[in-house]
Amino acid sequence: MNELPYLVFAGSASQNLAEKICDSLGCPLGKMRIEHFADGEFAVSYEESIRGKDLFLVQSTYPNADNIMELLLMIDAAKRASAHYITAVIPYFGWARQDRKDKPRVSIGAKLIADLLSVAGITRLITMDLHADQIQGFFNVPVDHLYGSTVFTEYIEHNIPVDNLCIATPDVGGTKRANSYARHFGVPMVICHKRRAKANEVAEMTIIGDVTGKDVILVDDIVDTAGTMTKAADLMLEHGAKSVRAFATHAVMSDPATKRIDQSGLTEMIFTDSIPYSKKSEKVRIISVAELFAESIRRVCSHESISSLYTF
């Protein structure tokens, strides 16, 4: 019988990451069954007692919508089975790009997802690199917001000479993130300013700053079609950069993203495993965040601060 006061379960979208988290915690992954019906509907059931337990439900909610629906059913089933606390561990919080009303008659998808999770019954959220920090305010439960910079800075320090670095952001919206990296390493920062013709299509891009002779690191939270990232990388090289690498937390990587990265001037593209990446590319590297999430779970259970886990 498991003596731990908590149990970790995984949805279909995050099985591999959850197994790594459990390996780090030294506990087995909880037993759960997802039954699929012919019409596409599915049902969730726990195959062990969860009464009075603190549950950590690991599931990234990238599209399609089955992933968020599966998590909602996991939460509902846990609540109805008398779980003590239900923490949603969402390494990639999907639908977060709809975080504000920027034109008339549009939805705010991130707020809707927050409401769905709250109504389903979560008591805490652990997530990483939200597309916009203000999404934390959409919840009325505690939110532990982790950062990919915790693992990225360690990788940079061990694999890339920092004396010739220059930090860059592929768009103006990522200026705060890039500035944090630049201050941490004590290096200059440049900004790419882009104008979109429409969603997922960059019409024009210019560089603000000097990259001549520099080893450039582009930082972002999400890479979707990789159009912005690869265009920025090639533009940096055209302006005299010595090399260009890119770091992004979430590998959404919709087609033709992998092909674009392979054909670009990027030396390497580094992601975390918040979203499973199954395609093959010689330039793509994956860094696991399992240890980071495992330590966060430990500290939540022992009522310790997690702020010391943040590099910045």
Q: Are 54 and 85 in contact (CB under 8 A)?
A: yes
Show Cβ contacts of residue 66 under 8 Å, excluding neighbours closer than 6 positions. 12, 42
Is 150 labelled a binding residue? Answer: no
Known catalytic residue at 79: no
15 is annotated as contributing to ligand binding: no
Query: In this structure, are strands 85-90 and 243-251 parallel, antiparallel, or unpaired?
Result: unpaired
Sheet containing 201-208: order of strands: 201-208, 189-198, 165-169, 215-223, 243-251, 268-272, 284-287
Asked whether residue 226 is marked as a ligand-binding residue, the answer is yes
Distance, CA of 180 to CA of 117 (rounded, Å): 31
Residues 6 or more apart whose Cβ sits within 8 Å of residue 61: 13, 67, 68, 71, 90, 92, 93, 94, 95, 113
Q: Residue 40, annotated ligand binder?
A: yes
Say if strands 85-90 and 124-128 run parallel, antiparallel, or are unpaired. parallel
Residue 225 annotated as binding? yes
228 among annotated binding-site residues: yes
Cα–Cα distance for residue pair 186/96, rounded to 1 Å:
31
User: Is 220 marked as binding a ligand?
Assistant: yes
Determine whether the annotation assigns residue 99 to a binding site.
Answer: no
Q: 159-175 as b/e, with b when 16 or more CB fall inside 10 Å?
A: ebeeeebbbbbbbeebe
Q: Name 34's Cβ contacts closer than 8 Å, sequence gap at least 6.
A: 11, 12, 42, 43, 44, 70
For residues 113 and 72, the answer to whether their CB atoms sit within 8 Å is: no
Consult the annotation and say whether 169 binds a ligand: no
Does the annotation flag 227 for ligand binding?
yes
Catalytic residue among 20, 53, 111, 194: 194
Annotated binding site for D-ribose 5-phosphate: 196, 220, 224-228
Residues of the binding site for ATP: 39-41, 97-98
| Annotation: binding site | 39-41, 97-98, 131, 171, 196, 220, 224-228
Q: Which residues are catalytic?
A: 194
